[in-house]
Structure 1
Amino acid sequence: MDDAPVIHTHALTKRYHGGQLAVDRLDLTVPAGSVFGFLGPNGSGKTTTIRMLMGLIEPTSGAARVLGQPVPRAARTVLPQVGALIEGPALYGFLSGRDNLLRYDAADPTADPRTRRTRVAAALERVGLTAAAGKKAKAYSLGMKQRLGLAAALLQPRRLLVLDEPTNGLDPQGMREIRSLVRELASDGTTVFLSSHPLDEIEQVCTHVAVMAQGRLVTQGPVAELAAGARGRLVVITPDTAEAARVLKEQGAADVTSEEDRVAAEPPDRDLAEVNAALVTAGVRVRGFTVERASLEDAFVALTGEGFDVAG
């Protein structure tokens, strides 16, 4: 596999009828072999971007290349190499899970009918649905439907896998299994491009991330670098929380909060040893003094000003 980006856009723009600007001059680069998290608050343009990348809608202007080919122009060449689960799977409720996958595979002109049943069985096993393969899809839970949609995306080897909320409806065990599957796919050389509601899911499984807000790209890059760019929280453990909060504010700390024996704040722009000394001098009994590492959620909030909901 070469080092060319699996997804690359330049000034990609989508303006809907009526003038709504959904995506504004997006320059996005998804490295080959990465697990790439795509984040954005509600209405940020994330889903519109995915639809353009998959050739489902045309951009107003700009360009997008997937697997080195222009989309939507080369969609017929590109899409057989792409597995996708976008906005939930479309299933025939009256068919069993196995028969749904057989239908999906039969609709793929590149699929070898001689190996169809073997590949369907392997995909069902990979997502943990072998025991429910004969059950009608209308009786599947939301989590089981998500698994079946993922199985459909895995019927053939894919260079790129696009997943929209792949853990939606899954219990904690199911989420762990999907995380493990995504890592396994990436280790086999598949690039995985995914959106996910829980930011901790993104942080646990993704190597790279991009953040959208109001149709524009806010930032992109390795997850570790994005989290490192956000300031951590200064945490003081003490029984004297009120006095500790007062001293921290005097020392220039911002966003000071107290809970039981814990006081947290945005660190001031000064030597933290001096801050600790000021606490002790004021008679605060300091039992813990540390700066907690910033999480991806901290970085997301700092960049967008938005809360935790990224399902837009």
Structure 2
Amino acid sequence: MAEPSATETQSAGQVSPGPVSPGPVSPDQGSGVVGAVIATRGLTKRYRGGQLAVDGLDLTVPAGSVFGFLGPNGSGKTTTIRMLMGLIEPTSGTARVLGRPMPRAARTVLPRVGALIEGPALYGFLSGQDNLLRYDAADPTADPRTRRERVAAALDRVGLAAAAGKKAKAYSLGMKQRLGLAAALLQPRSLLVLDEPTNGLDPQGMREIRALVRELASDGTTVFLSSHLLDEIEQVCTHAAVMARGRLITQGAVADLAAGARGRLVVTTPDTGEAARVLKEQGAGDVVVAEDRVTAEPPDRDLADLNAALVAAGVRVRGFAVDRASLEDAFVALTGEGFDVAG
């Protein structure tokens, strides 16, 4: 098996900037946005052939947040992250990370950033533990005297202590993701950048990684997490931005984004056919019948009147409520289309 190249090695753990003695960096220093750990203005990436991957992105990531970067596959999320980490040059626009311009200040910024981008690059013939030892040895800021202790702690934190001696080529996809996350956690970080961190994990593994992200945030680390899973973002993130076809659709606190969309009306009744007919007559949209429930987009009218119309038509209403809007509802309301995770 070929060893990872220097560029590939940057996709997990610390994105290596070379030897540096970083000074203190204020998150909002020179960013133009007070308290912003990441701030971009007009950030654009156009590839050869004219493909526009990221189009005029204005993004603000508050310090201390768990920030979800949300969008279907191919929406420009990974390209944006690679520009933020200095792995590729933007075509135009600016990006600041921890208050410093990227990629120009990479040598100062990157020692304070842990990253897992597009999956970890691993030496398959080495054990998980030896991979982390190799990563840590490549970090000019890492103390070699505490290397083995920190590697053991990182493996334990992601649930790989028992597999530390197993060769990486025998790891499952989910175990490789965990090992990449462990590499990002070898040192204390001001910012942790995770690109699809639960990719390949089973439901239990996904829950554990979400709990770890919350723990890191409670310790003061800002977490920037990209995903195409709306449910994942909604469960773990305090703030989010939605990308589609290379453009930013919206950003803000997760609760505010969901509040901007109307929830689904849910009517529980044995008379589903009649209930569906009445709801359509009353202006409800997207009426769906499933067993003893009818769901719909609420019409622009008093819901008490809608309930009264159902009862007047002889519908035996056993439940009548509007479910809280989700991020998926917000996405559909903003874009007019579904969230195609296979796109």
What TM-score bracket applies, with the shorter chain setting the length? over 0.9
1:139 aligns with 2:176: no
- TM-superposed CA distance for 1:248, in Å, is 0.7
Partner in structure 2 of residue 219 of structure 1: 250
Distance, in Å, in 1 between the alignment partners of 2:45 and 2:205 is: 35
Partner in structure 1 of residue 264 of structure 2: 233
Distance, in Å, in 2 between the alignment partners of 1:77 and 1:174 is: 34
Give the CA RMSD over aligned residues. 1.3
How has the CA–CA distance of structure 1 residues 156 and 311 changed in structure 2, closer, same or farther, with 3 Å as cutoff? farther
Partner in structure 1 of residue 106 of structure 2: 75
Q: 1:250 aligns with which of 272, 278, 281?
A: 281
Partner in structure 2 of residue 39 of structure 1: 70
- TM-superposed CA distance for 1:303, in Å, is 2.2
Question: Letter of the aligned partner of 1:29 in structure 2?
Answer: T
Question: Letter of the aligned partner of 1:77 in structure 2?
Answer: T
Q: 1:200 aligns with which of 231, 249, 262?
A: 231
Q: 2:208 aligns with which of 177, 183, 205?
A: 177
Question: Letter of the aligned partner of 1:107 in structure 2?
Answer: A
Distance, in Å, in 2 between the alignment partners of 1:107 and 1:308 is: 40
Distance, in Å, in 2 between the alignment partners of 1:71 and 1:18 is: 25
1:120 aligns with 2:151: yes
1:149 aligns with 2:180: yes
CA-to-aligned-CA distance 1:95-123 (integer Å, 9 cap, x gap) = 00000000000001111111111111110
Distance, in Å, in 1 between the alignment partners of 2:139 and 2:334 is: 41
TM-score by length of 2: 0.88
Distance, in Å, in 1 between the alignment partners of 2:334 and 2:137 is: 45
Partner in structure 2 of residue 300 of structure 1: 331
Distance, in Å, in 2 between the alignment partners of 1:306 and 1:51 is: 27
Distance, in Å, in 1 between the alignment partners of 2:198 and 2:139 is: 25
Question: Letter of the aligned partner of 2:72 in structure 1?
Answer: P
- TM-superposed CA distance for 1:306, in Å, is 4.2
Partner in structure 1 of residue 291 of structure 2: 260
Partner in structure 2 of residue 23 of structure 1: 54
Does structure 2 conserve the Cα–Cα contact (< 8 Å) formed by 1:211 and 1:218? yes
How has the CA–CA distance of structure 1 residues 190 and 28 changed in structure 2, closer, same or farther, with 3 Å as cutoff? same
Residue correspondences, number: 312
Question: Letter of the aligned partner of 2:136 in structure 1?
Answer: D
Question: Letter of the aligned partner of 1:116 in structure 2?
Answer: R
- TM-superposed CA distance for 1:308, in Å, is 3.9
Unaligned runs of 5+ in 2: 1-25, 28-33
SS of match in other structure, 1:27: strand
Does structure 1 conserve the Cα–Cα contact (< 8 Å) formed by 2:68 and 2:224? yes
Question: Letter of the aligned partner of 2:243 in structure 1?
Answer: M
Distance, in Å, in 2 between the alignment partners of 1:197 and 1:20 is: 21
Does structure 2 conserve the Cα–Cα contact (< 8 Å) formed by 1:159 and 1:191? yes
CA-to-aligned-CA distance 1:33-73 (integer Å, 9 cap, x gap) = 00000011232111111110010111111100000000011
